[in-house]
């Protein structure tokens, strides 16, 4: 068996003073795989992403990212490890409004030498990498680059966020409900572009959403409730 | 460096609050520096008002009072002293020179002083500087000649040869004028930055001549009047003067002569050492001066607390910004540094603008302050002390910046990557 990108085993987590929220016996995400993880709000999905990002630490069990056991790293190293290997796309408003589109895309390269290096290796410069990624994601107009991020439409902003997650080819892209603010056609369009770029960068995609209609587009789809033994039965 | 760019961009995004905050700091810094500069200059110009004089002698009152009317032309003498007392001490072998002074008249708000040529020869101010004429000559044998201080000439636009009339008393609006005996401007002194600039100097003879036909504090009427020409031919030796200054042959004899004067049996006299009296006077003003300093420090503190409040209130609405930064790899200490940088940038902008305001203010008010208060405010570079003050303010801002920095640090650790807003 090849090394998994993410490997969870016997993971347990609870917020202080609350019943166990996560109890995941096993979970794997293979390199280059796109996975749809279905999880309604309150199902512990945000917490799981926090654990994968090394922002929270589990009560028990192990989280391995690229074979590295996260709990073996200190908080600072975990932060660095996260930005070196993971790109994030969130729901909405996940750009810094006061920076230009280009600066938003380049943000991870300022905090991760590795990703800046990779961007330069592949595209010649960080600026070029940003422009190329944005063009691939359908933002071809060069004048867009220097506009303030909040002057773009929501759809455009999400593509900028995707470019930011992908710059410097992180091994993992985590997307947390990135399409919830888009209409259906735009959603599918956005996903196809995202898939294409992930494939090109060789990144795995962990896509978390409650919107089942997108699931068929992914290599694999899972429900967090099935994965998580601590899940409370759905009321709906 | 990149963090600084981020901090600036974030501030620019909140530019209205940021500008107001920096402006509040700027005003407070300007106030503090202005108070400090006025204080320093006042002290310096105060200390340099008189030098080289060993003793000042007047009618017995308080030393501060004597200093005030004889040197600063403020207030009035309680009593005159007799001319023969002056002559008695002027001829004392310990005395090198003596300057008699007769005060009590004025011209359009400026004091008139009757004295002798010895004044121009021996009076010193600052670092042992003598009075110098900018134009013309000292008054000579004719009693109706006047030598103007620099400011009097400038403010009232007098030039050599002009005639002017003195007023009786020192009130700004005089009801009784010596208009029958006009004076001619024969000399104008160079600027000294001391009360000399605001004084009109006439000879003791002139002072005597304008009062020669006065009885009981009012001018004589009708036949009793004496014209200027008549007065010129009369004996104009004064009966009394207001005070006199002494320069001694040896400093060592200062205290001996002081005691001798204070114990003089002819009439009650008071001799003071100008340096000691100056210090006494300054210590009186010291409390007000310190209070002013403390008040302006508190104003600066208020400005900084305003900044702290502005940053702290912004923290909550910026949780998203922090979370985004965290998600692209900023570590909690990056977030904390951002906030410290923000506070520093605000304070730096405030201090810089405050300094600019100070210079604009000095440039604008320099002339007025000089003429109204005789205080020269230099436009020079900030002194070492002023740099220290400004550095202190920046340091205080950094310390205050660490409060929101700490909160943001905690907050970003707790929030992680999730955006709760």
The mean per-residue pLDDT over the stretch A143-165 comes to: 88
ipTM of the complex: 0.86
* The total number of residues written for chain A in this structure: 236
Residue A233 pLDDT greater than 70, yes or no? no
CB atoms within 10 A of CB A159: 27
Distances (CA, A) of B37 to B33, B185, B383: 6, 36, 9
CB atoms within 10 A of CB B375: 17
User: Which DSSP state fits A160?
Assistant: H
Residue B367 pLDDT greater than 50, yes or no? yes
Confidence (pLDDT) at B289: 83
- What tens digit of pLDDT does each residue of B98-147 get? 999 999 888 888 899 999 999 999 998 877 888 888 888 888 888 899 99
Residue among A200, A203, A202, A154 nearest A174 (CA): A203
Residue A76 pLDDT greater than 60, yes or no? yes
Residue B329 pLDDT greater than 90, yes or no? no
User: Per-residue confidence at A18, pLDDT binned at 50, 70, 90?
Assistant: confident
The mean per-residue pLDDT over the stretch B342-369 comes to: 91
- What tens digit of pLDDT does each residue of A89-141 get? 887 778 888 899 999 999 999 988 899 999 898 888 988 999 988 988 888 88
> Chain A: nearest CA to B330, how far in angstroms?
6
Confidence (pLDDT) at B374: 67
Among chain A residues, the shortest Cα distance to B322 is held by A96
- What tens digit of pLDDT does each residue of B5-64 get? 888 998 888 889 899 999 999 999 999 998 888 888 888 877 888 888 999 999 998 888
Confidence (pLDDT) at A235: 45
Confidence (pLDDT) at A232: 63
Contacts B326 to A, Cβ<8 Å: 55
Confidence (pLDDT) at B141: 80
Contacts A88 to B, Cβ<8 Å: 327-328, 417
Confidence (pLDDT) at B52: 86
User: Per-residue confidence at B82, pLDDT binned at 50, 70, 90?
Assistant: very high
- Residue A122 structure tokens: 């592949």
Confidence (pLDDT) at A236: 42
For B101, the 3-state DSSP assignment is: strand
Mean of the per-residue pLDDT values for chain B?
87
Among chain B residues, the shortest Cα distance to A75 is held by B331
Residue A58 pLDDT greater than 80, yes or no? yes
d(CA B168, CA B207): 11
Percent of chain B with pLDDT over 90: 35
Across the interface, of A49, A50, A96, the residue whose CB is closest to B324 is A96
Residue B262 pLDDT greater than 90, yes or no? yes
Give the least confident one: A181-190, B56-65, B301-310: A181-190
d(CA B145, CA A72): 98
- What tens digit of pLDDT does each residue of A134-152 get? 988 888 888 888 898 888 8
- Residues within 8 A of B (CB atoms), A 42-101 only: 46, 49-50, 53, 55-56, 76, 79-80, 82-84, 88, 90-91, 93-99
Residue among B345, B330, B380, B388 nearest B359 (CA): B380
Taking a C-beta distance cutoff of 8 angstroms, is the pair B212, B172 a contact? no
- Residues within 8 A of B (CB atoms), A 126-185 only: 164
Confidence (pLDDT) at B83: 93
Residue A198 pLDDT greater than 50, yes or no? yes
- Residue B143 structure tokens: 């009693």
The mean per-residue pLDDT over the stretch B58-82 comes to: 88
Largest CA distance in chain A: 53
Contacts B328 to A, Cβ<8 Å: 83, 88, 107-108, 111, 164
For B276, the 3-state DSSP assignment is: helix
Q: Do B334 and A111 touch (CB under 8 A)?
A: yes
Taking a C-beta distance cutoff of 8 angstroms, is the pair B400, B320 a contact? no
Q: Which residue has the higher pLDDT, B224 or B264?
A: B264
Best to test chain A binding among B12, B16, B327 (most A CBs inside 10 Å): B327
Q: Which residues pair with A36 in a beta bridge?
A: A207, A221
Confidence (pLDDT) at B371: 67
Confidence (pLDDT) at B225: 76
> Chain A: nearest CA to B36, how far in angstroms?
40
Confidence (pLDDT) at A71: 83
User: Which DSSP state fits B244?
Assistant: E
d(CA B56, CA A144): 82
Confidence (pLDDT) at B44: 80
Give the least confident one: B42-56, B77-91, B406-420: B406-420
Mean of the per-residue pLDDT values for chain A?
85
For A21, the 3-state DSSP assignment is: coil
How many helices (DSSP H) and strands (DSSP E) are in chain B? 13, 17
């Amino acid at each position: 068996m090849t090394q998994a990108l993410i490997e969870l085993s016997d993971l347990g987590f609870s917020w202080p003073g609350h019943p166990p929220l996560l109890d995941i016996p096993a979970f794997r995400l293979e390199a280059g795989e796109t996975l749809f993880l279905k999880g309604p709000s309150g199902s512990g999905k945000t917490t799981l992403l926090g654990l994968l990002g090394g922002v929270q630490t589990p009560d028990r069990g192990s989280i391995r990212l690229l074979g590295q056991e996260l709990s073996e790293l200190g908080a600072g190293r975990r932060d660095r490890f996260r930005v070196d290997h993971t790109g994030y796309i969130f729901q909405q408003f996940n750009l810094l409004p006061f920076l230009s589109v280009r600066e938003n895309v380049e943000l991870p390269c300022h905090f991760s030498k590795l990703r800046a290096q990779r961007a330069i290796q592949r595209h010649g410069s960080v600026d070029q990498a940003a422009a190329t990624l944005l063009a691939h994601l359908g933002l071809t107009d060069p004048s867009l680059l220097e506009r303030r991020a909040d002057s773009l439409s929501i759809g455009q902003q999400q593509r900028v966020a995707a470019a930011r997650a992908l710059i410097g080819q992180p091994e993992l892209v985590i997307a947390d409900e990135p399409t919830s603010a888009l209409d259906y056609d735009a959603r599918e369009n956005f996903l196809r572009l995202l898939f294409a770029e992930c494939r090109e960068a060789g990144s795995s995609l962990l896509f978390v959403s409650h919107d089942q209609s997108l699931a068929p587009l992914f290599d694999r789809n899972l429900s967090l409730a099935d994965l998580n033994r601590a899940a409370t039965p759905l009321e709906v | 460096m990149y963090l600084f760019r981020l901090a600036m961009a974030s501030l620019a995004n909140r530019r209205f609050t940021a500008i107001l905050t920096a402006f509040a700091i700027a005003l407070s810094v300007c106030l503090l520096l202005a108070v400090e500069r006025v204080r320093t200059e006042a002290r310096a110009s105060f200390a340099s008002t008189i030098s080289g004089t060993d003793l000042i002698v007047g009618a017995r009152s308080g030393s501060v009072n004597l200093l005030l009317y004889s040197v600063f032309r403020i207030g009035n003498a309680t009593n005159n002293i007799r001319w023969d007392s002056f002559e008695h001490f002027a001829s004392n072998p310990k005395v090198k020179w003596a300057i008699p002074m007769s005060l009590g008249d004025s011209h359009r708000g400026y004091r008139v002083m009757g004295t002798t040529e010895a004044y121009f020869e021996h009076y010193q101010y600052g670092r042992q500087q003598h009075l110098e004429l900018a134009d013309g000559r000292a008054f000579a044998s004719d009693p109706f000649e006047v030598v103007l201080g620099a400011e009097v000439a400038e403010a009232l636009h007098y030039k050599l040869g002009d005639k002017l009339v003195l007023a009786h008393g020192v009130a700004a609006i005089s009801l009784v004028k010596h208009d029958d005996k006009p004076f001619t401007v024969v000399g104008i002194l160079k600027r000294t930055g001391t009360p000399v600039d605001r004084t009109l100097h006439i000879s003791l003879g002139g002072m005597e001549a304008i009062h020669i036909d006065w009885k009981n504090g009012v001018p004589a009427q009708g036949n009793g009047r004496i014209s200027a020409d008549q007065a010129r031919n009369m004996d104009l030796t004064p009966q009394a003067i207001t005070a006199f200054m002494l320069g001694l042959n040896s400093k060592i004899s200062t205290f001996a002569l002081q005691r001798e004067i204070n114990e003089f049996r002819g009439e009650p006299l008071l001799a003071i050492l100008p340096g000691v009296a100056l210090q006494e006077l300054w210590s009186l003003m010291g409390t007000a001066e310190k209070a002013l300093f403390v008040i302006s420090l508190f104003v600066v503190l208020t400005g900084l607390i305003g900044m702290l409040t502005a940053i702290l209130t912004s923290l909550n609405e910026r949780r998203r910004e922090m979370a985004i930064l965290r998600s692209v790899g900023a570590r909690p200490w990056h977030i904390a540094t951002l906030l410290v940088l923000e506070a520093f940038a605000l304070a730096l902008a405030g201090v810089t603008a405050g300094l600019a305001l100070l210079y604009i203010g000095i440039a604008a008010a320099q002339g007025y302050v000089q003429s109204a208060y005789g205080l020269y405010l230099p436009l020079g570079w900030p002194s070492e002390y002023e740099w220290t003050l400004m550095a202190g303010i920046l340091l205080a801002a950094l310390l205050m910046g660490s409060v929101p920095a700490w909160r943001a640090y905690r907050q970003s650790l707790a929030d992680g990557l999730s955006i709760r807003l």
